[in-house]
Amino acid sequence: MDFDRVKRRIDAFQQRHRPLAFAVGVQKKFGEDEGGNLCALLTYYGFVSLFPLLLVFFSVLGFVLEGNPSLQHQLRDSALSNLPIIGDQIASNVTSVQGSGLALVVGLLGALWGGLGIANAAQDAMNRVWGVDRPHRPGFVPRVLRSLGLVGTLGAAVIATAVLSAAAGYVSGNLALRAVALVVSIAANVAVFLLAFKLLTARDLAIGTLLPGALVAAVGFEVLQVVSGAYVGHALKGMSATYGMFAIVLGALAWIFLQARVVVYAAEVNVVRHDRLWPRSLVTATNDRGDTTEDADADDEDDGAQRAVGT
């Protein structure tokens, strides 16, 4: 069997079909940008900021709803329900919600440090996928301001998610209201991702350019909540009783890494669509200059990115 001929036929087939060609273009762009490394960095800072954010959340609940323990526990359970297996473990260790000034200060400092870290890593990731070289990236002060804007956006998103989850609990028996709650949740996530993509990218991009990726990220997060939550829960459920805190750490890392991949892939969708980086070839060949097709594609992308930044 002539495997080279088979590969060329497969390559020609994917290039003729727009959805498949677009998906291949996104995957190739993800690989060229070393998307796995970008996701790993986002996972590290996301993990560092997760527990301080929860500490702040619990402390604020303790202060604001001091006289309403029933609502405290309901909001706590709603927030933790968005964290598969991790939430169950945390809920079993956090049996009461109390307001503490010291815990609030420590949580705020930890959340600010971790939040700025993940915001800076996200800025580097977005500028990397959009081809913005370092001389054209924001300076220290604009960078910090963008990061603070993202931290505020994420904080508002956490609160909104907890409220929406609590509201969904009231209408769990009504399919129509559950559908409305799902649509509202996706719409809220789209708005959050639009703002985040706008803040994190140094290029001046229109909302319409960022909207497809925001939709992909919002829907992807909802799918992760259902599919990946069940998978992570199944994979680590037996470990949680035996390894305790280790299961929490492994579950948190796995969950955050999956979310980071959704975000980076969503950003790549915007780039591939905007810069027309598809169809792409799966077969490496040599052109007249002696470059492979992949090298030539990379050179064309760099030239296009430089022209876009210079305008």
pLDDT tens-digit readout, 163-187 = 666 666 555 566 777 778 778 888 9
pLDDT at res. 299: 46
Look at 208 and 88; give whichever has higher pLDDT.
208
Tell me the H-state helices in 140-228.
Answer: 140-170, 175-200, 207-223
What are 269-293's pLDDT values in tens digits?
999 999 999 999 988 654 444 444 4
Task: Enumerate the domain spans of the chain.
Answer: 33-275
Residue 83 burial (C-beta neighbours within 10 Å; 0-12, 13-18, 19+):
buried
Pick from 188-202, 220-234, 242-256 the range whose average pLDDT is largest.
188-202
Q: What pLDDT, in 10s, does the model give residues 71-117? A: 666 666 666 666 665 666 666 655 555 556 676 677 677 777 777 88
Contacts of 208 (CB under 8 A, 6+ apart): none
Rounded-to-integer distance, Cα 189 and Cα 215, Å: 8
**pTM of the predicted model, to two decimals?**
0.77
